[in-house]
Chain A
Amino acid sequence: DTEVTQTPKHLVMGMTNKKSLKCEQHMGHRAMYWYKQKAKKPPELMFVYSYEKLSINESVPSRFSPECPNSSLLNLHLHALQPEDSALYLCASSSSGSGSRETQYFGPGTRLLVL
Chain B
Amino acid sequence: GQQVMQIPQYQHVQEGEDFTTYCNSSTTLSNIQWYKQRPGGHPVFLIQLVKSGEVKKQKRLTFQFGEAKKNSSLHITATQTTDVGTYFCAGPGDRANAGNMLTFGGGTRLMVKP
Identify 17 residue pairs between A and B in the complex whose beta-carbon atoms are under 8 Å apart, listed by A's number: A40-B109, A42-B88, A42-B104, A43-B43, A45-B102, A48-B100, A48-B101, A56-B98, A56-B99, A97-B100, A98-B99, A99-B99, A100-B93, A100-B100, A104-B100, A104-B102, A108-B41
- Chain B interface residue count, Cβ-Cβ cutoff 8 angstroms: 25
Taken together as a complex, chains A and B put the C-alpha atoms of A107 and B107 apart, in Å, by 19
Are B45 and A103 in touch, CB under 8 angstroms?
A: yes
Report Cα–Cα, A61/B102, bound state, in Å.
Answer: 20
Question: Main SS of chain A's interface residues?
Answer: loop
Footprint of A on B, CB under 8 Å?
30-31, 33, 35, 41-45, 48, 50, 88, 92-93, 97-102, 104-107, 109
A100 pairs with B92, CB closer than 8 A: yes
- Chain B nearest CB from A23 CB (Å) reads 12
Chain B binding surface SS class? loop
Q: What residues of A have a CB within 8 angstroms of the CB of B44 in the complex?
A: 106
Bound CA span A105–B92, Å: 15
Q: How far is the CA of A61 from the CA of B44 in the complex (A)?
A: 28
Interface residues on A, range: 20 to 34
Chain B CB within 8 A of A109 CB:
yes
Looking at the assembled complex, report how far the CB atom of B54 sits from the nearest CB atom of chain A, in whole angstroms. Answer: 13
CB-defined contacts of A106 to chain B, threshold 8 Å: 35, 42-44
CA distance A40 to B109 in the complex (A): 8
Closest to B98 in A: A56
Report the separation of the CA atoms of residues A100 and B29 in the bound assembly, to the nearest whole angstrom: 10
